[in-house]
């Protein structure tokens, strides 16, 4: 599993924008920037939709006021699902990125197998990344939602 002080692995993440599909390479996406990344097991799932994403939507301005260049939400879903989920929650200040093949999530070592429920998914986590290096990493214990909340990240900034 990735640790604080380690550089993010090379991977491709997808985003559906008003101009069409955009693929982001992790090395360029995170270089020369301070970025908050949070990941969820799945778009439109109960905790993710009721609390995790809405917390970041509500606190986006306060998080960015702490010198954060971007807030990124990652899930092992495709970019179309991530766009629809972001639109449903007015997440205009958050980059909704799909990790459709879980390559980024697996490279981080933060994948989990939910078997017949959904297959390979991301663990729930949040991190602060500065110039491609993880400076803060907060990974949830299974079936919890405590350390990756927007309020906790705001305190860590």
Contacts of 80 (CB under 8 A, 6+ apart): 16, 98
pLDDT digits (tens, 9 = 90+) for 15-67: 999 999 999 999 999 999 999 999 999 999 899 899 999 999 999 999 999 99
Does 6 reside within a domain? no
The answer to whether residue 119 sits within a structural domain is yes
Q: List C-alpha distances in Å: 113 to 45, 79, 102.
A: 16, 21, 11
Number of domains in the chain: 1
pLDDT over threshold 90, residue 114 = no
Q: Is residue 1 part of a domain?
A: no
State which residues form the domain around 69.
Answer: 12-156
Query: How many Cα atoms occupy the beta-carbon half-sphere of 116 within 13 Å?
Result: 0
For the question of residue 73 being annotated catalytic, the response is: no
Catalytic residue among 35, 48, 68, 73: 48
Q: Quick check: is 4 in a domain?
A: no
**Domain for residue 5, yes or no?**
no
**What confidence tens digit (pLDDT) does each residue in 63-97 have?**
999 999 999 999 999 999 999 999 999 999 999 99
What's the whole-model pTM score?
0.96
Residue 116 within any structural domain of the chain: yes
Work out whether strand 20-25 and strand 111-113 pair parallel, antiparallel, or are unpaired.
Answer: unpaired
With vertex at residue 143, the alpha carbon angle to CA 140 and CA 145, rounded to the nearest 5 degrees, is 50
Does 101 map to a domain? Answer: yes
């Amino acid at each position: 599993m990735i640790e604080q002080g380690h550089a993010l692995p090379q991977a491709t993440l997808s985003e559906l924008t008003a101009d069409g599909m955009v693929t982001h390479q992790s090395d360029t996406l995170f270089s020369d920037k301070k970025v908050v990344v949070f990941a969820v097991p799945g778009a439109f799932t109960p905790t993710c939709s009721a609390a995790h994403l809405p917390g970041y939507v509500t606190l986006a301005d306060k998080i960015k006021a702490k010198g954060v260049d971007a807030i990124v939400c990652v899930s092992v879903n495709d970019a179309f699902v991530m766009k629809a989920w972001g639109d449903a929650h007015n997440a205009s200040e958050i980059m909704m990125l799909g990790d459709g093949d879980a390559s980024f999530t697996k490279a981080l070592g933060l994948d989990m197998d939910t078997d017949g429920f959904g297959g390979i998914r991301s663990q729930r986590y949040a991190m602060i990344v500065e110039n491609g290096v993880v400076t803060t990493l907060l990974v949830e214990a299974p079936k919890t939602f405590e350390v990756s909340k927007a309020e906790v990240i705001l305190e860590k900034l």
